[in-house]
Amino acid sequence: MSDKRSTPPEAEQGRGQEEIAPPPPANMPPRGRLHSSHPPTGHRRTDRRVLVVGSTGRLGVAIAQALVDRGDRVCVTGRDEGRLEALARDLEARSEAAGKHAPVPTIAQNLLEEDAPKRIAKAAIASGGVTDIVLACGPFPRTPIEDLTRDDLEMTLRVHAVAPLLLVNELADELASKRGSVVALTDGGVSRPYPNHVAYLTAKGALQAGMRAMAVEHGPHVRCNVVSLGIVADPEADADPLRTHRLAARSPLGRFGTPTEVVHVVLALLDATWATGEIWGIGR
């Protein structure tokens, strides 16, 4: 009688599966090589230079200020040259106070113009290069459904989705060479719509989908993430004070957010070296 121990059938089955497992696809990079191409998780890079798009809006200003305050360099772009110059002076003063003495380039461009993405990309590279982009484009047009026009949709899509996505694509090689990232601000109304803003919510939805697609197209060396915002400020509060209370009640926290709270998440995603294609919802 043999003293050989019997092996359960399921174990034999598992062993056989291991032996015949197919090799990984030939075009798949080794795990070690892919991991080593990125900064180590948990280490904030010290060479960051961020292009802030829509930098003269309230959130854009707060983001640019926070970046400078923590020692990052910024390049700011927007439509209004005067406001851009004023912002640049403020940011340079903050940098001086921190002992950094970093100049702040400005790029005055209107995203409604067809060649704006190319011009912004060219100017940003010429001014010293870009490691990251923050898309904080902020126009918030009210479009009651009975008055909605083709122009409303096309113009809002161009500002909030078409131009930003083209800009990311123009700078993709630059970002890839720096192992950079993109963070875009969208709106919680994309998944939980509110009235009178069909054009805006449609455009933000397009940007959100486009960013997730960009994460696939430009990975692994460029990370693309989204911050989906609840309400930070109600632009119609003066006309309808009760509206503020109604809208605040939509949030589980029962209040609007602050620019500082938005900044916290944007900075976290810039530093999150193992996050891409993500939608981080706050205040929704």
Residue 164 in this model has a pLDDT that exceeds 80? yes
> Backbone phi, then psi, for 184, in 5-degree steps?
-115, 140
CA 79 to chain centre: 20
**Strands 73-78 vs 49-53: parallel, antiparallel or unpaired:** parallel
Where along the chain do its domains lie? 46-282
Specify whether the CB–CB gap between 157 and 206 falls below 8 A: yes
Give the tokens for residue 196: 């009178």
Specify whether the CB–CB gap between 196 and 154 falls below 8 A: no
What band does 250 get if pLDDT is binned at 50, 70 and 90? Answer: confident
What band does 43 get if pLDDT is binned at 50, 70 and 90? Answer: low
Specify whether the CB–CB gap between 76 and 65 falls below 8 A: no
Q: With pLDDT > 70 as the criterion, what percentage of the chain qualifies? A: 82
The model's pTM is 0.84
**Fold of the 46-282 domain:** Rossmann fold (3.40.50)
Specify whether the CB–CB gap between 132 and 175 falls below 8 A: yes
Q: What is the pLDDT of residue 85?
A: 98
Strand, helix or coil for residue 110: coil
Is the bond into 39 cis (omega within 30 degrees of 0)? Answer: no
